[in-house]
Amino acid sequence: MTTIGFIGLGIMGTPMALNLQKAGHSLVTSKHRKAPAKELTEGGLKVLDTPADVARAAEIVILMLPDTPQVKDVLFSEKGLASGLSKGKLIIDMSSISPIETKAFAKKIRDLGAEYVDAPVSGGEVGAKAGTLTIMAGGSQAAFDRAKPLFEKMGKNITLVGDCGDGQVAKVANQIIVALNIAAVSEALVFAAKAGADPAKVRSALMGGFASSRILEVHGERMIKRTFDPGFRIELHQKDLNLALEGARALSLALPNTASTQQLFHSMVANGEGGLDHSGLVRALERLANHTVG
């Protein structure tokens, strides 16, 4: 089996790495301020000093980091991955970051003789644990084919969208749809509760009609039960909508509903709630209504 570098062992990265480990792959990572999960170290994960050491030790390196600056630092800092890469190695960035920066990162890595695939994911912590993530990839066909056996251990719906950067474009589009759906479900359940109906029963009725969605099913239940422990944090979704709105400005494109939903995310962060699951967006609308769903 392949030796894989995995940098970014957080809420999403840890279960993704565990699925690779369970498939028989040897994993290495670099030192971080937070120690890796016990399950990973017990499974044989080796912690090396720097990303450059990881690049030297592994044939393929996967990144699962919070934002563009962290990816840039891991790739191109003094002891970053680029300084340890050799010809023929493969970088797979599964973070959700800027499509424009991704294209620039990929060019630099390719110029070193290595390959690059951007492969952001959707499905949250639940999908990461179950190995059922949706994976949206950008890169050459050859690099994608090399990465696909690893993707198949982490996800189910795996698509090569186009060249480097196009996976990130797909992820931004995904995050627009998810955010607007969360806002729509929030508004509907706040309306139902304020009108005096049982929001749980309203949700149950809607699940049988055209309004049914995965967001209504999963996040609607969280809104009613008040279970906002993070599967995907509000502050991360806020970051993704920033990418959408930055891209829209560059394209001279209006995204009015994305912009209004981002304002709700901003209000959540301003109230110290950026660490909640993004289904907690309902709390912003509850404040406006002076009425709670649950």
Q: From CA 14, how far away is CA 9, in angstroms rounded? A: 5
What angle is formed at CA 134 by the lines to CA 131 and CA 139, rounded to 5 degrees?
Answer: 115
Sole residue written with tokens 């186009």: 162
Strands 121-122 and 115-118: unpaired
CA 170 to chain CA centroid, Å, is 12
Catalytic residue among 72, 171, 194, 239: 171
Q: Give the contacts of 75 (CB within 8 A, at least 6 positions apart).
A: 51, 63, 81, 82, 91, 105, 108, 109
Determine whether 256 is exposed, middle or buried from the number of CB atoms within 10 Å of its CB (0-12, 13-18, 19+).
exposed
Task: Evaluate whether 61 touches 48 at the Cβ level (below 8 Å).
Answer: no
What is the DSSP pairing of strand 3-7 with strand 26-30? parallel
Please name the amino acid found at residue 207.
M
Check if the beta carbon of residue 37 is closer than 8 Å to that of residue 9. Answer: yes
Rg (CA), the chain: 20
Provide the residue type at 83 as one letter.
S
**What DSSP assignment string belongs to 190-210?**
HHHHHTTS-HHHHHHHHTTST
Token digits of residue 233: 């944090």
Please give the Cα distance from 159 to 135 (Å, whole number): 6
* Residue 38 a catalytic site member: no
Known catalytic residues are 171
